[in-house]
Structure 1
Amino acid sequence: MNDKQSARIFWLGVILLVVPGLLHAYLLMPFPGSQDLNAITICYYLEKIVNPLRSIGAVFILWYLVKNYAHNSQRNKIIKAAVLVLCLGSFYFTDMAYKAETMFKETAAAKFANGLTNKVPLNYLVIGVVNNGVAKAYPVVYLGYHHKVQDVVGNKPVLVTYCTMCRTGRVYSPFVNGIKQNFRLVGARHYNAIIEDQSTKTWWYQATGKAAVGELKGKRLEELPYEQATLSAWLQKHPTSLIMQPDNLYTADYADLKNYDRVQAIDKDSTLKDKDSLIRKSWVIGVIVDGRSRAYDWRHLNKQHILNDEHYNNSLLIAIERDGQTYHAWNNTIKGTTLHFKLSDKGLLTDKETASLWNWDGQCISGLQKGQQLTKVQAYQEYWHSWKHFHPATTFWKGEEATELEHVAAIY
């Protein structure tokens, strides 16, 4: 074998050693253009062959070093040695610096405190979960860094997740095919976190719980109900709730998300004069009723706090509390009668039909409807780009009647 052929083997080894890992990292992290590609299947199978390809590349390089390296000129020796150093450096970026489970580590053991010993500020947003009379609150700032907390609430295992690129909080059952799973963070596709279960190695979208690729493709994780609220509002309803405390190992990482839970990106953009503009990271409240989705513009809804809406023959009440952060969605039909709500002088809900008073848990506390309970509808606060991507048939409300998605495309 001549020198040129031997050199080709060396360079092929370098390509196999570096390129698959770099491509994999590029596709699974939010680099420019990477998240817009429909490449999750490529990512899935690429991950499985990255290390085998690296091994083959390493064998090619080792063979060359043993057989031909000594015959190189001094200049070529330096070039090839420098290339190998760069190869090793690429591993830092692909396997550490830009590997999701390394960048965003899950807390080893989440610690909780009650309201008396809690150190979390009361104005922080939390994801609240209740089961068997036990309430727990997971601050978004902490959850946003970790991406997931695998916990137990009221003797029921839960997978509490959050993706800051989509502003999506979701709570799932960690059981797949009846077996409790440990999940790992894989990376992101379409700006949404991808998690993998331990048994089947299926990849699941965090925003929908849908299996995107793998053995269980097309299946969904069981979604569990939750609320997003300020800690103050949550404790008013659940005073004995336990609150997840910060892990001191990740103080600097939490600091990177300062004000994430309370300040919109549009408010930080000094170049955008019209703060009511609809942009990629505009906040929306999303609901799915009878398989049909609708999004509500957060800024417009926050100005009026209360919206009585009709969504495909379903009467809905969408409401934001006076703290401007805590939101709710209910079906506002009681015994076949649709009630229409407004805010009372005391900041509670009152229906126009009977002037009864309702608290922020959807329960009537005085008046003709006393004791009645509105049915909760699971609602999500999300970035507009995420809701639109995962719910392409959504209708959209922007301070007026809801419209089909194509009618708001010009605004986006």
Structure 2
Amino acid sequence: MKNTLSKSLAVSYLFWGGVILLLLPGLVHAYLLMPFPGSQNLNAITVSYYLEKVVTPLRIVGALLIVWYAIFYFNNNSRRGKIVKASLLGLGFISLYFTDFKFQAERMFEEPQTIKFANFINNSVPESTVIIGVVSNGVAKAYPLNYLGYHHKIQDNVGTQPVLVTYCTMCRSGRVYNPVVNGIRQNFRLVGARHYNAVIEDETTKTWWYQANGKAAVGQLKGSQLDEIPYEQSTLAAWINKHPGSLILQPDHHYLSDYNDLKNYDKIQAVDKDSTLKNKDSLMRKSWVVGLVINGQAKAYDWRRLFKKRFVNDSFNQTNLLLTLEKDSLTYHSFNTNVNGKVLHFNLDKSGQLTDVETASLWDWDGLSISGVLKGSRLVKIQSYQEYWHSWKHFHPNTLIWKEL
């Protein structure tokens, strides 16, 4: 009697072990790669990476154990036992739908089915739309944020330059990278998110890369860095004013409702919608900042303060710079203000044009002096990023914070 009971328990443990192997790895994997409560705060990208490699083999083992149990021992259960085990398996298959379909990043945020560009005359994108603009080899292209925000990435060419144009709405970080790695142009897939930042995987080596800094976090190329391509974030109107011949990414009609969900994403801060906050000028988790990295040192500028001032003359890490907003209050620029060995300081005149204090020359929003003593001179652009504060400080833990004097 005791041996029979022991055998029955052993067989039952095999069934439950099969259920655990079939379901648990996939559930943990989905939890770690989606923004569920608490999941993104864990330092678990390596665990997530290797767990993805073993989920399928573990499921096969689990399924075989369950099939073996069903064939030889299922009928030995009481009616209640059969109902419990069958119900559990039914719930398990429902959970598989969520982990392998509903909450799989590349299914939630699909690649564009059609990538179509138009010139300004044939364009259907509103001029007030915020875009990421890229110029290469004399060709300019504009990628609207609400399209990028849904797809997370567009794999394209600007002229002869291959580009990986990315945008992560969880951290408000746009980046443009060269997708050529070790001489091979890579196709990237969206894996999920860690620390609220999109993680992408290259097709050849299966390495995982963070979108926010282009670094390989885990895999064969761990420690490598994607080459960054300069870009600007502005309204389409401001971009076309500088690049009238620019091509503009048009909406893919398959995803119009998804784009519409992000319609005002690029215009309204979360802190502006929170009526409980008394001091909206303090940096909150989802406060917008403009971040720069100069000679390895990062610095963040509070967007709300920049919005009020419209321009900031600053200096850090041996670099003098200007941050400024155009009249639309959405298009921002950052420049090195050293011209011909002389440091310039800037202001806005009564008409809202940039003028330097030292020579009173006028400058356009592309950094070109259009009149005055310095006419024809050009400011050097510095790459900067509009990003959520929580993301900027995570990927730049030693960042400085601009404090208004």
TM-score normalised by the chain length of structure 1: 0.96
Which residue of structure 1 aligns with residue 239 of structure 2?
234
Which residue of structure 2 aligns with residue 223 of structure 1?
228
Instruction: Report which stretch shifted further, 172-181 or 272-281.
Output: 272-281
Match of 2:312 among 294, 307, 313: 307
Q: Is the 8 A contact 1:300 1:398 kept in 2?
A: no
* Deviation (angstroms), 1:272: 1.5
* Deviation (angstroms), 1:398: 3.8
Match of 2:33 among 14, 17, 28: 28
Q: Partners of 1:343 and 1:245 in 2: how far apart?
A: 35
Which residue of structure 2 aligns with residue 7 of structure 1?
12
Identity %: 62
Which residue of structure 1 aligns with residue 363 of structure 2?
358
Which residue of structure 2 aligns with residue 145 of structure 1?
150
Quick one: which amino acid aligns to residue 111 of structure 1? K
Q: Which residues in structure 2 correspond to 1:58-73 (within 5 Å)? A: 58-73=63-78
Q: Partners of 1:95 and 1:347 in 2: how far apart?
A: 53
Quick one: which amino acid aligns to residue 223 of structure 1? E
Which residue of structure 2 aligns with residue 329 of structure 1?
334
Match of 2:278 among 273, 279, 287: 273
**Root-mean-square deviation (CA), in Å?**
0.9
Quick one: which amino acid aligns to residue 211 of structure 1? A
Which residue of structure 2 aligns with residue 47 of structure 1?
52
Q: Partners of 1:338 and 1:93 in 2: how far apart?
A: 58
Q: Partners of 2:403 and 2:286 in 1: how far apart?
A: 15
* Deviation (angstroms), 1:3: 1.8
Q: Which residues in structure 2 correspond to 1:282-321 (within 5 Å)? A: 282-321=287-326
Which residue of structure 1 aligns with residue 207 of structure 2?
202
Q: Does 1:124 align with 2:129?
A: yes
Q: Partners of 1:398 and 1:145 in 2: how far apart?
A: 34
Unaligned runs of 5+ in 2: none
Q: Alignment partner of 2:370: what SS?
A: strand
- 1:211-263 C-alpha deviation (Å, 9 max, x unpaired): 00011111100000000000110010011111111111111111221210111
* Deviation (angstroms), 1:113: 1.1
Q: Is the 8 A contact 1:211 1:220 kept in 2?
A: yes
Match of 2:61 among 53, 56, 68: 56
Q: Partners of 2:301 and 2:272 in 1: how far apart?
A: 18
Q: Does 1:192 align with 2:231?
A: no
Which residue of structure 2 aligns with residue 404 of structure 1?
none
- 1:298-329 C-alpha deviation (Å, 9 max, x unpaired): 11011111111011221011111111000011
- 1:182-232 C-alpha deviation (Å, 9 max, x unpaired): 000000000000000011111000000000001111110000000000011
Match of 1:164 among 162, 165, 169: 169
Which residue of structure 2 aligns with residue 179 of structure 1?
184
Matched pairs, number: 400
Which residue of structure 2 aligns with residue 96 of structure 1?
101
* Deviation (angstroms), 1:399: 2.6
- 1:359-408 C-alpha deviation (Å, 9 max, x unpaired): 000000111101101001000000000000000111001433xxxxxxxx
Q: Partners of 1:353 and 1:319 in 2: how far apart?
A: 18
* Deviation (angstroms), 1:72: 1.1
Q: Partners of 1:8 and 1:210 in 2: how far apart?
A: 43
Q: Partners of 2:147 and 2:163 in 1: how far apart?
A: 17
Which residue of structure 2 aligns with residue 77 of structure 1?
82
Q: Alignment partner of 1:21: what SS?
A: helix
Q: Alignment partner of 1:12: what SS?
A: helix
Q: Does 1:255 align with 2:257?
A: no
* Deviation (angstroms), 1:348: 1.7
Q: Is the 8 A contact 1:267 1:275 kept in 2?
A: yes
Match of 2:23 among 18, 24, 28: 18
Q: Partners of 2:74 and 2:257 in 1: how far apart?
A: 46
Q: Is the 8 A contact 2:26 2:55 kept in 1?
A: yes
Q: Partners of 1:259 and 1:72 in 2: how far apart?
A: 57
Q: Does 1:264 align with 2:294?
A: no
Q: Partners of 1:238 and 1:273 in 2: how far apart?
A: 41
Which residue of structure 1 aligns with residue 120 of structure 2?
115
Q: Partners of 1:29 and 1:167 in 2: how far apart?
A: 16
Q: Is the 8 A contact 1:301 1:399 kept in 2?
A: no
Q: Does 1:214 align with 2:214?
A: no
